[in-house]
């Protein structure tokens, strides 16, 4: 595999795209300000800058705590002597927990307070890290269950808080995409740094038994570091963030105020709202299909590239490969910043899903590891564009009072997809073909959603056009200077 050459090419592309998307480009080349930027006043930009800094400090600490654990979860289980079957059970338990508990915990966050549940995320994830000290299957299972809940919280409440904070601070939706693209770009950088930090900590001390089943050192090190990061994350959320909630009205037909109802009322209301709105339903299916293909890719890229390498004795540079993935994600986030001012987000969604389907198809039939690697990097660029696109779309489509609950509802089919692939012991190439099919379906559904959203936007803008035309028609009748001269 030509991993170093491909990494260099991807890094160069990322640098060029990032430079093009930055304000430095306009200063160097004297480019004119875009129409979107012209409509944003200086005070709004200032409020957005302050809010974005507060959000990124907490969000990136939360993702750092998550990334630190990722590479060493199953390496730790293996070092404890657990078999691949045991690891599979623990893995499935995590996704099952996310699917079951995450489905209603989002609704609780909507009425209980998103900031409060961010703190809860930090506490529960830290407790999950504590369980890693014990060579005890039941204790590790508890840790996986807690981790599953935290995964649902990470992918719902942070985004829900940001969207509501934009509205509370009177920041227009034009800057929402900028917030999401900046967060996605930062997340990719954090992933690379987390890998380096975790590798350093994991090799500082050998795994040592303290007493009974309690251990320290070895692969536990990254989890201890994650606990520290999560503690700081929770403290920053409490000091930097204001509390915000969903708009609790409970006035819609068939819905109840979850504050005065049972614990599952939030989930019930989210389900009702999703089934009544074709836009919400389509948005949920599309996000589940794309993110499902993303998770399947995470599980399968290593065996795919390993099976395709020509020299069996060759060791694939997994660290360099992972870094290349993150660089491509960063390039995708920057590319979104460039294109979003010129193309509607719904149209961009159709494009990246189609390109993602092509990339997965090429990877599935690739004759060599280098070709498969290039195709996978193209998909990673689509991933970098996906999160700001989907975040912006969900911000406009999903109702505020049920936002976190509906976001977690979207993750139920996602978890079904992941569990299906894990439990069927699918071959790598078969998994990539499945990904290509899912992304093709997502492209078609996104096209339907695009038509629906654009028709709504055109109808909403029609009264404004009619008003402008009426003003233009009446203007000559009210003016008298030129008309009188002609007469």
Q: How far apart are CA 142 and CA 120, in angstroms?
A: 16
Helix (H/G/I), strand (E/B), else coil: 254: coil
Helix (H/G/I), strand (E/B), else coil: 134: strand
What is the SS3 string spanning 148-200?
A: HHHHHHHCCHHHHHHHHHHHHCCCCHHHHHHHHHHHHHHHHHHHHHHHHHHHH
Write out pLDDT tens, residues 297-311. 988 888 888 888 877
Per-residue burial over 131-149, b if 16 or more Cβ lie within 10 Å, else e, is bbbbbeeeebbbbbbbbbb
Reported in sequence order, the residue ranges of 323-415 that DSSP labels E, i.e. its strands, are none
Write out pLDDT tens, residues 3-42. 889 989 999 999 999 988 887 777 777 654 444 444 567 8
Per the CB < 8 A criterion, the answer to whether 368 and 67 are in contact is no
User: What is the pLDDT of the chain when averaged over all its residues?
Assistant: 84
DSSP letter assigned to residue 113: -
**For position 307, what pLDDT does the model report?**
86
Report whether pLDDT(464) > 60.
no
Q: How far apart are CA 405 and CA 296, in angstroms?
A: 24
Write out pLDDT tens, residues 69-94. 987 887 888 889 888 788 888 888 88
Residue 209 phi, psi (nearest 5)? -85, 125
Confidence of residue 467 (pLDDT cuts 50, 70, 90): low
**For position 423, what pLDDT does the model report?**
81
Report whether pLDDT(255) > 70.
no
**For position 248, what pLDDT does the model report?**
56
Note the pTM of the prediction, 2 decimals: 0.82
Rounded to 5°, angle at Cα 63 from 156 and 436 = 70
> Residue with structure tokens 């000091």?
239
């Amino acid at each position: 595999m030509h991993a170093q050459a491909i990494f260099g090419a991807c890094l160069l592309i990322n640098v060029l795209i990032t430079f093009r998307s930055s304000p430095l480009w306009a200063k160097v080349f004297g480019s004119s300000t875009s129409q979107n930027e012209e409509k944003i006043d200086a005070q709004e930009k200032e409020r957005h800058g302050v809010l974005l800094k507060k959000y990124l400090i907490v969000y990136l600490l939360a993702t750092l705590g998550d990334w630190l654990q990722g590479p060493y979860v199953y390496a730790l289980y293996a070092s404890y002597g657990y078999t691949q079957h045991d690891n599979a059970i623990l893995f499935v338990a995590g996704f099952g927990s996310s699917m079951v508990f995450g489905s209603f915990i989002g609704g609780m966050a909507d009425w209980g307070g998103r900031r409060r549940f961010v703190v809860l995320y930090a506490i529960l994830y830290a407790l999950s890290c504590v369980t890693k000290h014990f060579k005890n299957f039941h204790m590790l299972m508890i840790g996986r269950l807690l981790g599953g809940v935290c995964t649902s919280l990470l992918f719902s409440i942070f985004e829900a808080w940001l969207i509501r904070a934009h509205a509370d601070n009177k920041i227009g939706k034009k800057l929402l995409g900028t917030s999401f693209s900046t967060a996605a770009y930062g997340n990719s950088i954090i992933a690379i740094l987390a890998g380096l930090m975790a590798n350093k900590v994991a090799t500082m001390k050998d795994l040592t038994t303290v007493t009974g089943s309690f251990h320290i050192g070895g692969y536990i090190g990254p989890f201890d570091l994650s606990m520290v990061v999560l503690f700081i994350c929770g403290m920053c959320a409490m000091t930097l963030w204001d509390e915000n909630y969903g708009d609790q009205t409970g006035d819609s037909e068939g819905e109840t105020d979850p504050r005065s109802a049972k614990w599952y009322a939030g989930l019930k209301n989210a389900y009702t709202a999703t089934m009544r709105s074709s836009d919400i339903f389509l948005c949920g299916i599309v996000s589940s299909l794309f993110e499902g293909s993303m998770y399947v890719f995470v599980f399968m890229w290593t065996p795919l590239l390993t099976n395709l390498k020509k020299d069996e004795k060759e060791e694939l540079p997994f660290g360099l490969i992972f870094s290349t993935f993150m660089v491509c994600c960063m390039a995708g986030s920057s590319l979104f910043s460039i294109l979003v001012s010129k193309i509607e987000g719904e149209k961009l969604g159709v494009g990246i899903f189609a390109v993602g389907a092509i990339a997965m198809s090429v990877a599935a039939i690739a004759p060599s590891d280098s070709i498969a690697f290039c195709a996978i990097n193209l998909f990673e660029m689509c991933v970098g564009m996906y999160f700001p696109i989907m975040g912006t779309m969900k911000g406009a489509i999903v109702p505020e009072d049920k936002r976190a609950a509906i976001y977690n509802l979207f993750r139920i089919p996602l978890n079904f997809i992941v569990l299906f692939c894990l439990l069927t012991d699918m071959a790598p190439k078969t998994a990539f073909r499945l990904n290509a099919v899912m992304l093709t379906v997502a492209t078609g559904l996104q096209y339907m959603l695009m038509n629906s959203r654009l028709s709504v936007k055109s109808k909403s803008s029609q009264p404004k056009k009619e008003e402008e035309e009426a003003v233009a028609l009446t203007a000559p009748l009210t003016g008298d200077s030129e008309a009188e001269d002609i007469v």
